[in-house]
Structure 1
Amino acid sequence: MRMLVQASIDTERANAVIAEGKMPETMEQILTVLKPEAAYFYPLHGRRGLVMVVDVTDEADLIPLVEPLWMEMGADVEVAPCLTAQELQAGLARLTARS
């Protein structure tokens, strides 16, 4: 299932990672684990933020997927299922078929 992962990264933790020169390596590790279909980085509520679309085959996979964001970045993480426009259309067709 496609999931939207949004994270607001703790500023002090990220600043320490940047000061140690480890931000590129840390982000690469996180992206390697998550294998996002898409990833975007932007300011979020005054902090560093990111949003990624990832494929999750089993709900239990969410734990190892988001754990690096908690452990490495002290991030606040939100995860929600998401659909493409085609999937939405298929779902709406099923909805109207029931009526």
Structure 2
Amino acid sequence: MRMLLNVHIPHEPFNAFVRDGTIGEVMAKILDAMKPEAAYFTEQSRGRGAVLVVNLDDPSQIPAFAEPWFLTFNADCEFRVVMLPEDLQKAGLEALGAKWK
């Protein structure tokens, strides 16, 4: 299942990794383990953030995607199910609309 993983990264300990020059290595380790379909880094609520598209075969994989962020950065993670346009076309919205008029 395709999921949007929204990560809110606090300033510390991220700043410490930047200062000691290891942030690139740390981020590469996390991203190599996760293998996201896409990864974007941005500002979120006046702080650092990441938005990743990941594929889960089973809900039991959620900790494998969240724990690296929790344990490394004390970050907050939010997971949302997302669809491609093709997925939305298969959703049967017309039939649902007719059923729930």
TM over 0.5: yes
Alignment map for 1:5-16 (pairs within 5 Å): 5-16=5-16
Cα drift, residue 96 of structure 1: 2.5
Cα drift, residue 21 of structure 1: 1.2
Q: Which runs of 5+ in 1 are unaligned?
A: none
Q: Which runs of 4+ in 1 moved over 6 A?
A: none
State how far apart, in whole Å, the 2-side matches of 1:57 and 1:17 are.
Answer: 32
* Cα-to-partner distance string for 1:9-47 (whole Å, 9 max, x where unaligned): 010210011112110011101111211111100111111
Alignment map for 1:51-66 (pairs within 5 Å): 51-66=51-66
Cα drift, residue 73 of structure 1: 1.1
Q: Which amino acid aligns with 1:19?
A: R
Alignment map for 1:54-93 (pairs within 5 Å): 54-91=54-91
CA contact (8 A) 2:12 2:73 kept: no
State how far apart, in whole Å, the 1-side matches of 2:94 and 2:46 are.
Answer: 42
C-alpha root-mean-square deviation of aligned residues, in Å? 1.1
- When normalised by structure 1's length, the TM-score is 0.91
Identity of aligned residues (%): 36
CA contact (8 A) 2:35 2:54 kept: yes
Q: Which amino acid aligns with 1:34?
A: M
Q: Which amino acid aligns with 1:44?
A: Q
Q: Which has the larger radius of gyration?
A: 2
- When normalised by structure 2's length, the TM-score is 0.90
State how far apart, in whole Å, the 1-side matches of 2:42 and 2:94 are.
Answer: 38
State how far apart, in whole Å, the 2-side matches of 1:9 and 1:75 are.
Answer: 5
Q: Which runs of 5+ in 2 are unaligned?
A: none
